[in-house]
Amino acid sequence: MKAKIYVTLKRGVLDPQGKAIRASLSHLGIDGVEDVRVGKFMEVTLKEVGVDEARRLLDEACRRLLANTVIEEYRIEIGG
């Protein structure tokens, strides 16, 4: 079973890397970009477990290792 995990900074947290990318896009003549937020993407392959167990395992992994829940939020997609 495959799962995707997206980790992004919470809305109120400053994202200097995103701001630098937005400025660079403007310098390249790519206008109209109002905001850029940078995050992490992980694709995880799990052994055969049920969807509920997979979600539980991945939620624990995010809370304990993959995301800093003080400043980041995460989203888990299972399947695909």
Q: Note the pLDDT of residue 80.
A: 60
**pLDDT value of residue 27:** 96
Predicted pLDDT of residue 50: 92
Arithmetic mean of pLDDT over the chain: 96
Question: How many domains is the chain built from?
Answer: 1
Q: Phi and psi of 25, rounded to 5°? A: -60, -40
Q: Locate the DSSP E strands across the chain.
A: 2-9, 39-45, 72-78
pLDDT of 15-49, one tens digit each? 999 999 999 999 999 999 999 999 999 999 999 88
- Report the pLDDT value the prediction gives residue 31, as an integer from 0 to 100: 93
Q: Are strands 2-9 and 72-78 parallel, antiparallel or unpaired?
A: antiparallel
Residue 4 near residue 42 (C-beta atoms within 8 A): yes
Question: Residue 70: which domain range?
Answer: 2-78
CATH number of 13's domain: 3.30.1280.10
Average pLDDT for residues 67-76, to the nearest whole number? Answer: 98
- Rounded CA gap, 45 and 35, in Å? 32
Q: Let me know how long the chain is.
A: 80
